[in-house]
A = this chain, B = another copy of it.
């Protein structure tokens, strides 16, 4: 697992910079730095991206074909509505891990369905930023 794509979906660019008393002060940049450090410490390379556009997220997955050994994706709100993103995950041959900062199972009904999960290598939810490190641990040991 040398090359890792880290992909964040809609609204996650606001992470940490708004309402820190609620969501904490960890920013998306902090998460990317933490993951990059972990990946590079194992001799790997990280490509990180965020977009609010469903199409751009699909493009990013397609662009990683031939380079990535694995992807960690937090699809945000597209988790629950995007068949297109699911098809993109299903069409790449490297393993994709779905990570959620919070626990969707404890939230609204419409967050109980994940179009993406059935075609992922695995899912991790509820651990905040620690979930990304868990994803790396899982990818390395499976």
Q: A interface vs B, CB < 8 Å?
A: 9-11, 13-14, 18-19, 51-56, 58-59, 62, 65, 76-88, 91, 93, 103, 105-106, 110-115, 117-131, 133-142
Contacts and interface: CB of A to CB of B under 8 A. Distances in A.
Copies of chain A in the complex: 12
Given A11-B87, A83-B111, A124-B125, 11 more contacts: A11-B62, A11-B91, A14-B91, A52-B84, A54-B84, A76-B87, A77-B82, A78-B84, A121-B126, A129-B141, A130-B140
Contacts of A103: 117-118, 120-123
5 contacts: A10-B85, A14-B65, A52-B54, A103-B118, A127-B142
A48 to B, nearest CB: 17
Q: Most B CB atoms within 10 A — which of A76, A80, A131? A: A131
A13 B58 CA distance: 11
The A interface, classified by DSSP as helix, strand, loop or mixed, is helix
